[in-house]
Amino acid sequence: MPVEIINADCLLSDIEQHFKVLAGPGAGKTRFLVNHLKNILNNSRRLRIQRRIACITFTNVATETILKRVGDHGGRLEISTIHSFLYKYLVKPYVHLIAADYDLNAKEIGGHDEILFSGYQFLKDWKSATSQNYLDDKDIVKAFEKLRWKFDANGSLIPAPPFPQKSKTYNFKNEGYLIYKKMIWKQGLLHHDDVLFFSFEIIRKLPFALEVLRAQFPYFLVDEFQDTSPIQIEILKRISAKETIVGIVGDEAQSIYKFMGAAPGQLENFILPGIVSFEIKDNHRSSNQIVELLNLVRPKLKQDAKRNASQSLIQVLVGDKIAALRWAEASYSDIELVTLSRENMTANSLKKNIGAGVHKDLLAELKGKDSNSTRRRVISNATKAIEYAKMGYYKDSLKNNR
C-alpha cells in the first residue's frame, strides 16, 4: 500500500475516506488530529444537529487536551475514552435487552469500574459453584486480576487470563471464569473490560443498535490506535462497514497496553476498503542525539529532527523514585519538572512525596470485603470523586459523585 508523507499541519483533501497516520514521538499526532477535526467541522456536508464526530482517546488527559484546543462546537464533538463512549452509546441504552442472557442485573448498573472481588465469602461461594474447593485463595485472586475477554477459535468472546493458570498442581477450570463474571453481574456490577464484551454482544445481537450508532457518528477517529484491543478493533471494523468514515492515528513502537490485549503490528496491519496511509516523519520535540538513536532503534519510520538542537548526554538515575525527584528538583530548580509513569498510583505517590509502601489495590480490596453493594459503591464513588477533583478533572469528579 503506497504511503504519503505529510506533516502535522496538513489538511487531508478528502475527508470522506478511511485513513491511518503513522507517526513517531514528537511528530505532532495530537496537532494533526485537532486540525483534522476542524477540517471536518468546516467542510463536511454530513454533520447535522444530531450527527457528530466521535474522537476516541486513551486517557482523560488527552480528552481534555483535545477539547481545549478544538472546543465542543455546539455539541458536535464527542471526545472520550473508548470505555466511556461504548458505555454511553451502547451499553447504557441497550444492555437491558440482552441482560437476561447473561444473568446481568441491568437495573443496578451504575457505571463501570476496576472491580475485583477477593472477600473470603465471595471466594468460598465461587469455589463451591465451580467445584474447585481445592484452589488457594491467593491463586484465585491472581487469576481474576489477569482476567480479560478474548476471542476463541470460533470468534466468540470468552473470559480468560492471558496464559493458563495453575494453583500448585491444579489447573483452573475454564468455565469458572464465566461463573465469576456472572456472580458479579448479578449484583449489577461491570468491569471496564465487560463494557467491551457487552458492546460487542449488543452489536452482534442487535443490528439496529449499530445502525443508530452509524447514524449518530458519520466520522470516527481513534488516537493511539496501537493500544487498542482486538475487541475494540472488531467493533471499529463493524462500525466502518458502511456510512461511517474511520481515521486512526498511532505509533507501533509506543504501544504500552500489551497486557490489555494490544498486539504488535495491529496498526500497520489495520485495513479497511479504500483506506489511505500517511506518515509524519517530523520530530519537533527531541534533540538531534535522541532522534539519531530513535532512527537506529526503529529504522522503518525514520524521523527528521526539526528542532535541530544538540544537547548533552542524558543522565539516568536508578534507585528510589523520591530520591531521584529530589535530585531533579535541586539540579533543575529554574525549570518546570514533569514526571511520566505507567500507573496513576505512581504519579500520585510522587505528588504526595510517598516512596515505598504504597498499597496498590486498597480500594479494590475494601470493595471486595464489603458485603453491602450500595455502601461499597457510595464509598468507591466518593473516594474517586475526591481524587479526580484534587487532580483538576472536575468533569470526572462530578460523574463519580452521583
**Where do the H-state alpha helices sit in 75-191?**
82-86, 92-94, 120-130, 137-145, 175-185
Shared domain check, 352 and 392 = yes
Supply the pLDDT for residue 172.
Answer: 79
Shared domain check, 330 and 295 = no
271 within a domain of the structure (yes/no)? yes
199 within a domain of the structure (yes/no)? no
Shared domain check, 87 and 214 = yes
pLDDT tens profile 185-203? 999 999 999 999 999 999 9
Contacts of 377 (CB under 8 A, 6+ apart): 110
pLDDT tens profile 346-371? 777 777 666 555 555 566 666 666 66
Shared domain check, 291 and 216 = yes
Shared domain check, 217 and 80 = yes
Number of domains composing the chain: 3
**Cα–Cα distance between 365 and 114 in angstroms, integer?**
11
pLDDT band of residue 170 (cuts 50, 70, 90) is low
Supply the pLDDT for residue 364.
Answer: 62
Tally of CB atoms within 10 A around 243: 13
Contacts of 84 (CB under 8 A, 6+ apart): none
Shared domain check, 172 and 40 = no
**Where do the H-state alpha helices sit in 206-309?**
207-216, 230-239, 288-297
Shared domain check, 244 and 164 = no
For 166, the domain range is 116-188
371 within a domain of the structure (yes/no)? yes
Of 276, 307, 309, nearest in space to 10 by CA: 276
Report which of residues 220 and 168 the model is more confident about: 220
DSSP 8-state code for residue 270: -
Report which of residues 263 and 13 the model is more confident about: 13
Supply the pLDDT for residue 89.
Answer: 97
Of the residues 160, 188, 216, which one is the last residue of a structural domain? 188
Q: Picking from 51-55, 217-221, 331-335, 370-374, which range would have the lowest pLDDT averaged per residue?
A: 370-374
Q: Is the pLDDT of residue 104 over 60?
A: yes
Supply the pLDDT for residue 135.
Answer: 87
Shared domain check, 294 and 210 = yes
- Work out whether strand 148-151 and strand 157-160 pair parallel, antiparallel, or are unpaired: antiparallel
Which residue's entry shows cell 468455565? 175
197 within a domain of the structure (yes/no)? no
| Helix/strand number for the chain, H first, E second | 16, 13
Of the residues 162, 188, 214, which one is the last residue of a structural domain? 188
**Cα–Cα distance between 246 and 17 in angstroms, integer?**
8
Phi/psi zone of residue 88: left (φ > 0), alpha (ψ -120 to 50 degrees), beta? alpha
Which residue's entry shows cell 443490528? 207
83 within a domain of the structure (yes/no)? yes
214 within a domain of the structure (yes/no)? yes
Shared domain check, 222 and 80 = yes
217 within a domain of the structure (yes/no)? yes
166 within a domain of the structure (yes/no)? yes
pTM of the complete model: 0.79
Tell me the mean pLDDT in the region 17-24. Answer: 94
Report which of residues 198 and 135 the model is more confident about: 198
CA distances from 245 to 19, 130, 228, 322 (A): 8, 45, 18, 47
CA distances from 6 to 16, 71, 239 (A): 18, 25, 27
Q: Is the pLDDT of residue 336 over 60?
A: yes
**Cα–Cα distance between 78 and 63 in angstroms, integer?**
10
- Three-class DSSP category at 203: helix
Of the residues 273, 301, 329, which one is the last residue of a structural domain? 301
CA distances from 308 to 235, 251, 291, 304 (A): 42, 22, 10, 9
**Cα–Cα distance between 246 and 93 in angstroms, integer?**
23
Shared domain check, 42 and 172 = no
CA distances from 257 to 175, 227, 228, 271, 349 (A): 26, 5, 8, 21, 22
Bridge partners of residue 221, in order along the sequence: 55, 247
pLDDT tens profile 234-257? 999 999 999 999 999 998 877 655
- Three-class DSSP category at 333: coil
Shared domain check, 288 and 154 = no
Instruction: Give the distance, in angstroms, between the CA of residue 208 and the centroid of all CA atoms in the same chain.
Output: 26
Contacts of 97 (CB under 8 A, 6+ apart): 202, 206
Shared domain check, 70 and 122 = no
Of 108, 261, 260, nearest in space to 190 by CA: 108
